Structure 1
Amino acid sequence: MRYAICPLSVVPVRSEPSDTAEITTEVLFGEFFKVLERRASWSRIRLAHDGYEGWVSNKQYTEIDKQQYDDLCADKKEVFCAQSVGVCKKEDGTSLPILIGSRLPMYADGCFSIAGEKYSFDGYVACGKKPKSDIAKVARGFLNAPYLWGGRSFFGIDCSGLVQLCYRLCGRKLPRDAKDQAQGGEVLSFIEEAEEGDLAFFDNEEGVIVHVGIVLADHMIIHASGQVRVDRLDQTGIYNSQINKYTHKLRLLKRM
């Protein structure tokens, strides 16, 4: 078994070993994974933080040994970049942009290292479990970010990526996809029971969960649809006042 870590700002994870294959998620700087299969140009990986699998280019990761991987898994004090775009400095003086949600392994006193290479970062960081109300505050920081299928950054993010990332920045773990996120938590019977930070799930005509958003106060919801936006939420679903119609049909509300 091989192990690796992401040394770049963001790396696409694809459904097949090809540059033209669908992007199913992204790996952010500092996230680490197992290499399940390595071919000439591509590797099939499994991300440590959510178990998601897919293909990444061999040019876009750095290998680490099993001890380094185990140490990263054992590090319970997860520290993340907490600003939309930050800049970390390498030992050679060059800069590397990193995105909100990037992992800063073994971070201490403004410094951390990846595969033996030392970095410094003096930007805002997030660490530890935050109150549930903070989830909505973090989500508002993504307002107007464009929608991107498989995206996990301010420059492109999908609905479940937004939810997972906001929860993670507040010290809470969720699966990557909306249908899997919907499997956890406690079902709420009425929308009046929902609090800021709870999740609302939406289905299609076949009853499949296809969308998720974060509940806000006053029957509002923040979600990624075209862009990260705030809309009204009621027992029917999401109502977009700009086009005067419902865009998503409510399936269930959950407290995670």
Structure 2
Amino acid sequence: MSETFDRRLTPARPDLAAAYLKGRVTADRYVEGAVMEVKEGVVDLRREPRPDCPIDTQALYGERVTVYDEEEGWAWAQLDRDGYVGWIAANALWSALRTPTHRVCVPRTFVYPAASIKQPPLLALPLSAEVEIVDERENFYVMRDLGFIWRPHLAPLGLLAADFVSVAETLMGAPYLWGGKSSIGVDCSGLVQISLAAAGKKAPRDSDMQEARLGKPVEIGAPLQRGDLIFWKGHVGVMRDATTLLHANGTHMLVSSEPLELVRARNLNAGAGDITAVKRLEG
């Protein structure tokens, strides 16, 4: 008898499942999986091993994944940071595991082949990507086996953002992308997740998970404050102050800031329903 699991977070299929699920789910075979690391700046995770399949979420440079299966250039894997399961391009992973020391603390930065901003970049890294730094040279940090990053664009892992809302505000105007988690494209729950990560707060990936697991409930209609999370069915935003909501949304197709009551009225008029929860994070 198999237990009931959230398929988004459970590496189990009828033909194959993670070894740690043996006895809990039914599958033809069970595998331990191989730990690998994301070597590209941002990589899509999809529900099926097809390039035309919608993006469920994304993995960022330096993130570890456990690969359980490979099929025609696709790896079926589970992300280490939030446990999401899906198909990722196998050539975006490598078996070289780094020990991260720093994280990207700006919306986007470049990796250069030399300590010069005039060199053509090797790679672009998004906010909250983690890297291993082995040296310093002038105004650059030196990455292990890769290149150079402008020093002000990185922060030691132990140096956390004091205000996650300020982090989210740096992505103002970023285009909306379903499943996105970077300044190139981000969705509502992705904006919340990567902003909280910069402040050292682990958050699940999707808005329904965030509503269930983050913070303490605040009565709907009670006075709001900066950092409060506002939930609708399938949507989340964060308050910049008592009246202003910041959110990645499909109305403007970007990260925008607007009065909460305007958003609330628009959703009601569109038949999307009213606010389902307000959550306040500790600290």
TM-score for the superposition, normalised by structure 2: 0.73
1:137 and 1:7 map into 2 onto residues whose CA distance is 28
1:231 paired residue number: 258
Deviation, structure 1 residue 40: 3.1
2:103 paired residue number: 80
1:248 and 1:230 map into 2 onto residues whose CA distance is 20
Among candidates 195, 199, 210, match of residue 181 of structure 1: 210
2:42 paired residue number: 10
2:125 and 2:222 map into 1 onto residues whose CA distance is 39
1:198 paired residue number: 228
State yes or no: 1:98 paired with 2:163: no
**1:200 is aligned with what amino acid?**
I
Structure 1 residues 90 and 5: alpha-carbon distance in aligned structure 2, compared to 1, 3 A threshold? farther
1:58 and 1:175 map into 2 onto residues whose CA distance is 24
Deviation, structure 1 residue 237: 5.7
Among candidates 162, 185, 204, match of residue 156 of structure 1: 185
Map 1:120-139 onto structure 2 (within 5 A): 120-122=148-150, 123-126=152-155, 127=157, 128-131=159-162, 134-139=163-168
Deviation, structure 1 residue 41: 1.6
Indicate if the aligned counterparts of 2:225 and 2:242 stay in contact, CA closer than 8 A. Answer: no
1:41 paired residue number: 73
**1:150 is aligned with what amino acid?**
G
1:89 paired residue number: 112
State yes or no: 1:213 paired with 2:237: yes
Structure 1 residues 247 and 183: alpha-carbon distance in aligned structure 2, compared to 1, 3 A threshold? closer
Structure 2 residue ranges without an equivalent (≥5): 1-32
**2:171 is aligned with what amino acid?**
F
1:49 and 1:135 map into 2 onto residues whose CA distance is 18
2:143 paired residue number: 112
**1:255 is aligned with what amino acid?**
R
SS in 2 for 1:136: helix
1:108 and 1:218 map into 2 onto residues whose CA distance is 44
Deviation, structure 1 residue 216: 1.4
SS in 1 for 2:106: coil
2:231 and 2:135 map into 1 onto residues whose CA distance is 38
Among candidates 82, 87, 91, match of residue 59 of structure 1: 91
Give a deviation string over 1:119-149, Cα, whole Å, max 9, x none.
3322422443433xx2221111111111110
**1:254 is aligned with what amino acid?**
K
Indicate if the aligned counterparts of 1:239 and 1:246 stay in contact, CA closer than 8 A. Answer: no
State yes or no: 1:147 paired with 2:176: yes
Structure 1 residues 111 and 88: alpha-carbon distance in aligned structure 2, compared to 1, 3 A threshold? same
Q: Percent identity?
A: 26
2:57 and 2:175 map into 1 onto residues whose CA distance is 15
Deviation, structure 1 residue 96: 1.6
**1:2 is aligned with what amino acid?**
A
RMSD value, Cα: 2.6
**1:36 is aligned with what amino acid?**
Y
Alignment length, in residue pairs?
A: 232
SS in 2 for 1:197: coil
Give a deviation string over 1:4-44, Cα, whole Å, max 9, x none.
11111211111101111111111122212111212232111
